[in-house]
Amino acid sequence: MLDTTVKIAAIALNIQLEAVSAEQAVAGQPHTGSATLGEFGGTEIGVWEMTPGAMSDVEANEIFIVLVGTGTVQFEETGLTVPLAPGDVMRLREGQRTIWTITQTLRKVYFA
């Protein structure tokens, strides 16, 4: 996508959302989806979205920037819970087990 254009409105991007699997759902009925925008220097760039609810995940190496929405990400190994809001930048490491709890639909741009 970025290979053919120089600008993308990540907030307005149409992302197909699917229900989180029963194995990952923790609370509510969250839906997630993503769109890969391209690659830059060997790094995948994309947009990910999650609707309100909670889900468990196992992370990949990633840096992300929250565009819209609010929630928290909890790290199971340490119990640390980090609040998320627009403008926040965060790093995730491969293999970390997390619980994402979203209160307002969250959309982020990720670099993995």
Inside any domain, residue 45:
yes
Q: Which CATH number goes with the domain that contains 107?
A: 2.60.120.10
Longest dimension (CA), the chain: 42
The helix (run of H) or strand (run of E) holding residue 44 is strand 43-50
Inside any domain, residue 9:
no
Inside any domain, residue 41:
yes
Inside any domain, residue 3:
no
Residue that the structure tokens 């209160």 belong to: 103
d(CA 22, CA 62): 24
pLDDT-based confidence at residue 7 (cuts at 50, 70, 90): confident
pLDDT digits (tens, 9 = 90+) for 52-84: 999 999 999 999 999 999 999 999 999 999 999
pLDDT-based confidence at residue 3 (cuts at 50, 70, 90): low
Inside any domain, residue 72:
yes
Q: Which H, E and C letters describe 83-111, residue by residue?
A: EECCCCEEEECCCCEEEEEEEEEEEEEEE
Q: How many domains is the chain partitioned into structurally?
A: 1
pLDDT above 70 coverage of the chain, percent: 96
Domain extent for 54 = 18-111
